[in-house]
Amino acid sequence: MPTQLKEVLYTAEAVVEGGREGHGRTSDGRLEVDLSVPATMSGDDGPGTNPEQLFAVGYAACFQSALLGVAQGRNLDATGSQITSRVGIGPLDSGGFGLQVSLDLHAPNITAEEAHELMLRADKRCPYSNATRGNITVALSVDGQPVDKVA
């Protein structure tokens, strides 16, 4: 059963015309993008972005904000840190298409052990992680080294 929000703090609204080969814009006018389909997905590889790129940026930004909050609460110096997000799309055995995500942390001012702990804590806090948990594979790593999730 889906979890219910106690309160809606913000709602983003966007309109897309033309699907993956169209145009998208937010209702407040802050974001406006042309969309193109990558050649590897039988598209024309036009100059526009695609939903997977937008999701990758959104997930990375949200996840890093969660990580920075956790780091601040633990008095860890996360300045200069980066989250690299990779979003893959492909066919499912059951039909249709699915996504997979990898999130990699580079944090020059934090030990590897602290970075692993931050990744696990951020994964519990991040709304994107909470939305995708149990639905798609999300792999966490620190400088390319896998972070084992604890159930």
Q: Are 140 and 150 spatial neighbours (Cβ–Cβ below 8 Å)?
A: no
Using alpha carbons, select from 84, 88, 89 the residue that is nearest to residue 60. Answer: 84
Residue with tokens 């200069």: 80
CA distance linking residue 130 with residue 132, whole number of Å:
6
**Average of pLDDT values for 52-65?**
98
Residue-level pLDDT at 2: 76
**Domain locations in the chain as residue ranges:** 1-49, 51-144
Q: Is the dihedral of CA 37, 39, 42, 44 positive or negative?
A: positive
CA distance linking residue 44 with residue 68, whole number of Å:
38
Q: Are 57 and 85 spatial neighbours (Cβ–Cβ below 8 Å)?
A: yes
3-state secondary structure (DSSP) of residue 63: helix
Global pTM value: 0.94
Q: Under CATH, which number does the domain 1-49 receive?
A: 2.20.25.10
Give pLDDT tens digits for 130-139. Answer: 999 999 999 9
Give pLDDT tens digits for 83-134. Answer: 999 999 999 999 999 999 999 999 999 999 999 999 999 999 999 999 999 9
Q: 51-144 adopts what CATH topology?
A: GMP Synthetase; Chain A, domain 3 (3.30.300)
